[in-house]
Structure 1
Amino acid sequence: MVMEKHICPYGLKVKYLLEHESYVVEDRWLKTRKETDAFKAEQEVKTTPQTFIDGKRVGGHDETRRFLGKEVKHKDATSYTPVLAIFATAALMALAVSWALLGNVFTVRAAEWFIAFSMCILAVQKLQDIDSFATMFLGYDLLAQRWVPYAWIYPFGELLAGVLVIARALNWISVPVALLIGTIGAVSVFYAVYTQKRELKCACAGGNSNVPLGFVSLTENLMMIAMAVWMVFT
């Protein structure tokens, strides 16, 4: 569909994909809703775009990818990509700040900033839709299951601790908060995944993520505990 106020993103993706695979593409536009509805009725399909190769209909975006041997991700498939992207971004930010302020990327402060930046970014992911986060979080967090408001408080505590660590300020607040939420989180994840053997999605990257609950979430909580203990002795 190529209309005045809408260009189909999947159409652009399919066209690029076919051209990238060395196909010569004849791009036929559906310029009005009437044309689109008529095309769907004629071809007995529910969506556009539709790919035809040598006069034979292949199908829509996903079917075209499968035809070309490309992966098609299921919308509910689990993936570690969101948290890996967050941790990688936080690491690059920490190294950049360390270089800018201390003239060296490999410093103790860089490690502190990495954990703090990770906490802040993860908190932002949760705060984008705090109700969805709370719903998923309640599925495994032991304290939240006993006191529901904790599910809404958690992201703010994580953000507060992260910001204070970045500033190296008010350790008497950041240390207890990080230690509390990190310890409860680690125990909850270990109990749900390794004791009860449950297969759950992790709320660490927000309530709409498909990150599996397990090693990554446990690592996040252990990082907070380690940071809190480090702050006590430095």
Structure 2
Amino acid sequence: MAPRSASLYRMVMDKHVCPWGLKARWLLRREGYRVDDHWLRTREQTDAFKAEHGVETTPQTFIDGLRIGGYDDLRRWLGKPVKDPEATSYRPVIALFGMAAAMALALGWLIEGAPWQVGTLGRFIALAMCLLAVQKLQDVDGFATMFLGYDLLARRWVPYAYLFPFLEALAGVLMLAQAGTWLAAPVAIFIGGIGSVSVFYAVYVQKREIKCACVGGGSRVPLGFVSLTEDLMMVAMGLWMALA
């Protein structure tokens, strides 16, 4: 049986190749379509195409003379899932904690000759704190704005929302180096303790459904178990260092 054909119109210019057009072409070919790949090489040509077909974006796919639409429209037409940009997701947290765990195991193997040793859990917590701090430090103002939505101390003293990522990073680095316990332990206990109370109050007392600032201001991670776990880990690590 001959493969079905599809016509794809996408921008391919000297300084810009539309990534959605490449994804649409790859998807069509993966689904067994023969693609008539039409390149829109200039802005004028692209604008003329949009005006002719009454569309606002490219790429545009046509199958059997029917205009399917852009990349997301093509996915829907083929019965593929389309990502909802507003949907909550735990994927950023899973990726971050997964990488922290892999790094902790690798360091255990390098330092102690085996991936799992007594210090592995401590390294995992310290690395997770560092990685979480990096996410926040990419956009401190965005993080602070989201953090102010639920943190009890930040609501009373706004600068704390801006200091939090730096304090978390400081504690994480010192814990990883096993140095400066006199500073790292109280910082971790303090920010983790305030955070735990704030999250518990917002989620389990007030029953609010809001986004967590734990992986930065633009995250779609719901506030709750993940953020509470982050804060409790900091408290536990701080206490362990202080009592060790």
Fold match by TM threshold 0.5: yes
Matches of 2:32 and 2:204, distance apart in 1: 48
Q: Summarize the alignment of residues 40-189 of structure 1 with structure 2, pairs less than 5 Å apart.
A: 40-189=50-199
Question: Does residue 1:221 correspond to 2:225, yes or no?
Answer: no
- 1:22 is displaced (CA, Å) by 1.4
Q: Deviations for 1:64-93, whole angstroms, at most 9, x for unmatched residues? A: 111111111122211111111110011101
State the superposition RMSD in angstroms: 0.8
- 1:49 is displaced (CA, Å) by 0.2
Matches of 1:22 and 1:184, distance apart in 2: 56
2:110 partner amino acid: A
Q: Which runs of 4+ in 1 moved over 3 A?
A: none
Q: For the Cα contact (< 8 Å) 2:136–2:216, is it kept in 1?
A: yes
Point out the more displaced range, 115-124 or 18-27. 18-27
Question: Does residue 1:194 correspond to 2:207, yes or no?
Answer: no
- 1:231 is displaced (CA, Å) by 1.2
1:193 partner amino acid: V
Which has the larger strand fraction? 2
Q: Which residue of 2 aligns with 1:204?
A: 214
Point out the more displaced range, 10-19 or 224-233. 224-233
Q: Which residue of 2 aligns with 1:32?
A: 42
Q: Unaligned regions of 5+ residues in structure 1, if any?
A: none
* Partner secondary structure for residue 203 of structure 1: coil
Q: Unaligned regions of 5+ residues in structure 2, if any?
A: 1-10
* Partner secondary structure for residue 207 of structure 1: coil
- 1:233 is displaced (CA, Å) by 2.5
Identity, % of aligned positions = 65
- Identify which of 1, 8, 13 aligns with 1:3: 13
Matches of 1:218 and 1:71, distance apart in 2: 31
| TM-score of the superposed pair, with normalisation by structure 2 | 0.94
Q: Deviations for 1:8-52, whole angstroms, at most 9, x for unmatched residues? A: 000001111111111111111100111100110111000000111
Q: For the Cα contact (< 8 Å) 2:182–2:242, is it kept in 1?
A: no
Q: Deviations for 1:156-185, whole angstroms, at most 9, x for unmatched residues? A: 000000000011001110000000000110
Instruction: Count matched residues.
Output: 234
Matches of 2:78 and 2:113, distance apart in 1: 49
| TM-score of the superposed pair, with normalisation by structure 1 | 0.98
1:118 partner amino acid: A
Matches of 2:206 and 2:167, distance apart in 1: 27
2:213 partner amino acid: A
